Amino acid sequence: MVQFTRSLFSLCLVAAAFATPLFKRTVAQVESDIASISSQVTTLDNNIKGFPASGLAGALGIHTAATNLETTLNTGTNDVKATPAFSESDGQTILNSVQAIEPVILDALAQITAKKADFDALPIGGLPALILQDLKTLKADTDAFSGALIVNAPADLKSQATTIQTNIDAGFASAIAAYS
């Protein structure tokens, strides 16, 4: 009986270890991730604004900036999922940070939509398809990140966070439609 109890206890410990994230994250890490995302969104927006004057190199810079942002969004999503639910003050701080990036994201999406003909005019074919793939990937990664934030947000902030996600999704929908 002692052997059975010891085995059952060991099994429970193993199950508990797999059921929880290996490393808990903190709100400070999530805030740092949002600051990194903000910086990368600004870089992407500036690269888009500089195109078509930046030429083919600029178009490739846009792709590189999008790829870097994708990686940071995925890191942020994993960190949010490994963080306990946000307190009211932490949730408000995070919401304010995300609200500050929203207009930059929407501007980048509007700019890339407006410059579709410029990408089509480049001497190397396939760049619009690459932009479309970047847009689809960024949308999925942004949805995962915002979804994780919404899950961890205090109940009274969830509707504001959902509105931000809806606005950004609408921007992505327009951009993806332009390149489809």
What dihedral do alpha carbons 41, 42, 47, 48 form, nearest 10°? 70
Q: Residue 49 above 70 pLDDT?
A: yes
Best CA proximity match to 35, nearest among 89, 5, 79: 79
Q: Regarding the domain delimited by 24-179, which CATH topology (the fold level of the hierarchy) does it fall under? A: Methane Monooxygenase Hydroxylase; Chain G, domain 1 (1.20.58)
pLDDT digits (tens, 9 = 90+) for 104-140: 999 999 999 999 999 999 988 889 999 999 999 999 9
Give the domain ranges of the chain: 24-179
Query: For the segment 70-100, what is each residue's pLDDT rounded down to a tens digit?
Result: 999 999 999 999 999 999 999 999 999 999 9
| Statement: residue 167 has pLDDT above 70 | yes
**What is the rounded CA–CA span in Å between residue 40 and residue 62?**
11
Whole-angstrom CA distances from 141 to 39, 69, 138 are 16, 9, 5
**Predicted model pTM:** 0.85
What is d(CA 139, CA 134) in angstroms, rounded to the nearest whole number?
8
